[in-house]
Structure 1
């Protein structure tokens, strides 16, 4: 992979017992609904390469940087992000484009519901230290007031090689989380688990799974799958969005029905 991989400054153990590669859904399974659902149950995620048109993804990236590229201070950036981009029709259309919404309708077997709280993350090269990269967590701790069958879609907005700080998944973690949730051992206020990815891998005796993402790729993961972001040790900006869909006839967490702001305390 070329460079030492870190997350919030913690150096990942890159031995084969602690680091592996995400498994791509093979072409022969892409249209096989029962096999896809079984794969999601087994793995906790679906890595769908090329689900979106790369030109659409890059077009949104260009729109984003067209608004933020000239900003010279954080206050101005925040104003553009939270006042223009997040509530804007361009972002809404991107997140509900047929290639995404249609896929969820097919996979869920019912009318899909997109949570209004949708997140965009921008990480520049060299940004590290505790609190920079997304710490290890599973989404249910933030979505307790709705269905636990909500699914997240993580979408790199442009190519995102491993060194650029893409998402990493803790292999098989959802099985243990499901067991501990059922035993009510993990009921807690919304909080990340830890910034110490190598320590968590040792605790779970599991591998962090990573890959080089390309524009157009999407990863779908369950609300019980532990994931985190790597630090950006590349020379390019990492831009991504994470959004959440569920069936519209299941319980919906009302706290997620406002536009995202980094001061919304969720």
Structure 2
């Protein structure tokens, strides 16, 4: 293992670092561009801090078939054709279990969703919360081993939420959507079968958007809701979340006194959960 993430004196990565054929873990300072020849590091299982800029680096990365963990950044100036090429090359890493991507290329925000005929078969953790996509990618349906997902999209819909709910192994979901539709997303039996942690974040009133039918999210223990304001309601059917232990509501604000509003929100949730068998704890925060 070679960890130089905290080495402030390092100005650039030595070009001969790619000639360490037995190295299994390489942790670099964030936004580090590797020299050419990364494909020589066949033993790498973990690679962190990589800044993807050149197509040659993309191609070399796709030959690291033993890679299990990849943390990388995408330059904000990267053009859409290069982004598509990068995703194509990453898809060749069939043994990848953990993928973290940061960066927000401007062209990627409103690009069309590309389809993937070969989704990651073994991926367990996918963190894209710092890479804003236009909608929920349909290729997520094929990630049957996915346990943790952090996703940020420009727009979502009830159909998109239901798509995420069909992931059979998903335990932890952090989902941020800038825009959500006016109709309520009702979640019922068969969706999110093993989910234990849900953090749903939007500019809109998320308490009015989510709804739970009997049998919904049978394993959910923690529910976190974030929105820009509170419209005076609580999610319909919260009492159906039979294993729920805690609710945290963030981002409550409106024209009323903040302290008064926080109390109103907390009282509304507690009133709804009076008959809940677990009597979940309720926390309400302004931010």
Taking structure 1 as the reference length, the TM-score comes to 0.21
> Which has the higher Rg, Structure 1 or Structure 2?
2
More helix by share: 1
Higher strand proportion (structure 1 or 2): 2
Q: TM-score, normalised by structure 2?
A: 0.20
Determine which structure has greater relative contact order: mean sequence separation of CA pairs < 8 Å that are 6+ residues apart, divided by chain length. 1
